[in-house]
Amino acid sequence: MSDPITIAAVKAAPGLIAATLTMPDGTPVLFRPLGPDDAGIPGEYFLGLSEETRRRYGPHPFDQATADQLCANIDPGHTLRMIGILDEAGRPRVVAYIILLLGITEGDRAHYARNGIALDPDTDCTLAPSLADAYQNRGWGTVMMRHLIDVARRLGRRRMALMWGTQATNSRAIRFYEKLGFRHIATFEEPPGVFNHELGL
């Protein structure tokens, strides 16, 4: 693990947690926090995702209006929104978007509490990742996630919960998280008829 850092330090200099990561096929990807001038590139990423990927993601809609709103309300002291960027002939292309909430949602706190686990918003965090369809199943998500897990540890976070779990039918995602060390905590039904696995690291 790298040296510890504080939330205040990241808020003052978000580049502290940026890195150029080498993917399994040798492709370099810049992995850094979303910035206020980035609205165009995450919007293009959101709109380019398949319906299947959109359907599996719950924190917010994938559209240009949401991208504009996110970039206008950057707060790395509360929520880190990381993007993976490819350089395509000098033009940036977003290939991943991962939320790291430095705290716990009320829904996740309740799900864990029902299973005897008390999450602490001061020392725990919440994750919501997405990856462009063309780069799924190529090991790219694993590389970026390992970097982000290290960032969370450097920030003093002890545990990581998946934001509202992952759908029980999403076996590919479940295998991905298990490979990273996440374990099954519980299964819950929300909304009615949709079963989700709460996974934690």
Asked whether residue 17 is assigned to any structural domain, the reply reads yes
CA distance linking residue 118 with residue 182, whole number of Å = 17
Amino acid at 148: L
Q: For residue 31, what are its two tokens?
A: 């992995």
CA distance linking residue 126 with residue 165, whole number of Å = 10
**CATH number of the domain enclosing 138:** 3.40.630.30
Axis crossing angle, helix 40-48 with helix 64-72, rounded to the nearest 10: 150
pLDDT string in tens for the chain (201-residue length): 578 999 899 988 989 999 999 999 999 999 999 888 887 788 888 888 888 887 776 677 788 888 888 888 888 878 899 999 999 888 899 999 998 999 988 888 888 888 888 889 999 999 889 999 999 999 999 999 999 999 999 999 999 988 877 778 888 888 888 999 998 887 877 778 778 787 888
Asked whether residue 2 is assigned to any structural domain, the reply reads no
Asked whether residue 172 is assigned to any structural domain, the reply reads yes
CA distance linking residue 51 with residue 79, whole number of Å = 26
CA distance linking residue 185 with residue 66, whole number of Å = 31
What is the extent of the structural domain holding 67? Answer: 7-200
* Number of domains comprising the chain: 1
Asked whether residue 118 is assigned to any structural domain, the reply reads yes
Predicted local confidence at residue 6, as pLDDT: 92
